[in-house]
A and B are shown apart, each in its own frame.
Chain A
Amino acid sequence: MNRFYVVLAGVAVVLAVGTFTMLKSGGSAPAAATGAPPTVVDDGFRGYSQGSGDAPVEITEYLDFECPVCASFAVIQMPTIKEQLINTGKVHWRYRDFPLPIHRYSRFAAHAAQCAGAQGHYFEMQDQLFLNHQWAQTGKDPSKLFRELAKASGVELTAYDQCMEAGRYAQRIEFSRQEGDQMLVDGTPTFYLNGKKLNFRRLPTSDDFKAVVDSAIAALPPKPRPSPNHH
Chain B
Amino acid sequence: MRSRQAIALLALVGFFIAVYLWLHALGYGGPLKCGTGECETVQSSPQAVQLGIPVAFYGVVGYLALFVVALIGLRPAALADRKWSLLLAGISTVGVVFTGYLTYLELFVIHAICRWCVGSALVITAIWIVSLLSLRSPALRTDRGASRPLPDRPA
Chain A-chain B contacts (Cβ-Cβ < 8 Å), number: 63
Q: Are B29 and A8 in contact (CB under 8 A)?
A: no
Given contacts A28-B30, A147-B30, contact A8 B19 (CB under 8 A): no
Task: Tell me if B31 counts as interface (CB < 8 A to partner A).
Answer: yes
Task: Tell me if A131 counts as interface (CB < 8 A to partner B).
Answer: no
Task: Name which of A25, A147, A157 has the most chain B CB atoms within 10 A of its CB.
Answer: A157
Q: Are A15 and B12 in contact (CB under 8 A)?
A: yes
Chain A residues lying within 8 Å of B24, measured Cβ to Cβ, are 23, 26
Which of A85-93, A158-166, A180-188 faces chain B? A158-166
Chain A residues lying within 8 Å of B29, measured Cβ to Cβ, are 22-24, 26-27
Given contacts A26-B31, A26-B32, A162-B37, contact A11 B20 (CB under 8 A): no
Task: Tell me if B8 counts as interface (CB < 8 A to partner A).
Answer: yes
Q: How far is the CA of A144 from the CA of B37 in the complex (A)?
A: 17
Chain A residues lying within 8 Å of B30, measured Cβ to Cβ, are 26-28, 143-144, 147, 161
One digit per residue, 1 when the CB lies within 8 angstroms of any chain A CB and 0 when it does not, for chain B 24-64 equals 10011111110001111100100000000000000000000
Q: Are A19 and B20 in contact (CB under 8 A)?
A: yes
Closest residue of B by beta carbon distance from A16:
B16
Q: Are A15 and B16 in contact (CB under 8 A)?
A: yes
Task: Tell me if A12 counts as interface (CB < 8 A to partner B).
Answer: yes
Task: Name which of A12, A143, A151, A162 has the most chain B CB atoms within 10 A of its CB.
Answer: A12
Number of interface residues of B (CB under 8 A): 25
Chain B nearest CB, measured from A13 CB (Å): 11
Given contacts A157-B31, A161-B31, contact A23 B20 (CB under 8 A): yes
Q: How far is the CA of A16 from the CA of B31 in the complex (A)?
A: 18
Given contacts A23-B20, A158-B41, contact A144 B13 (CB under 8 A): no
Partner of B33, one of A1, A11, A22, A162: A22
Q: How far is the CA of A227 from the CA of B32 in the complex (A)?
A: 65
Given contacts A8-B8, A8-B12, contact A158 B33 (CB under 8 A): no
Task: Tell me if B5 counts as interface (CB < 8 A to partner A).
Answer: yes
Chain B residues lying within 8 Å of A162, measured Cβ to Cβ, are 37
Q: How far is the CA of A10 from the CA of B41 in the complex (A)?
A: 33
Q: Using a CB-CB cutoff of 8 Å, which residues 18-59 of chain A contact chain B?
A: 18-19, 22-28
Task: Tell me if B69 counts as interface (CB < 8 A to partner A).
Answer: no
Q: How far is the CA of A182 from the CA of B134 in the complex (A)?
A: 75
Closest residue of B by beta carbon distance from A156:
B41
Chain B nearest CB, measured from A50 CB (Å): 29
Chain A residues lying within 8 Å of B139, measured Cβ to Cβ, are none
CB within 8 Å of B: which residues of A? 1, 4, 7-8, 11-12, 15-16, 18-19, 22-28, 143-144, 147, 151, 156-159, 161-162, 165
Would you list 28 pairs from A and B whose C-beta atoms are within 8 A, ordered by A residue? A1-B74, A4-B5, A8-B9, A11-B9, A11-B13, A12-B12, A15-B13, A16-B16, A19-B16, A22-B29, A23-B24, A23-B29, A24-B29, A26-B31, A26-B33, A27-B29, A143-B30, A144-B30, A147-B31, A157-B40, A158-B37, A158-B38, A159-B37, A161-B30, A161-B31, A161-B37, A161-B40, A165-B31
CB within 8 Å of A: which residues of B? 5, 8-9, 12-13, 15-16, 19-20, 23-24, 27-33, 37-41, 44, 74
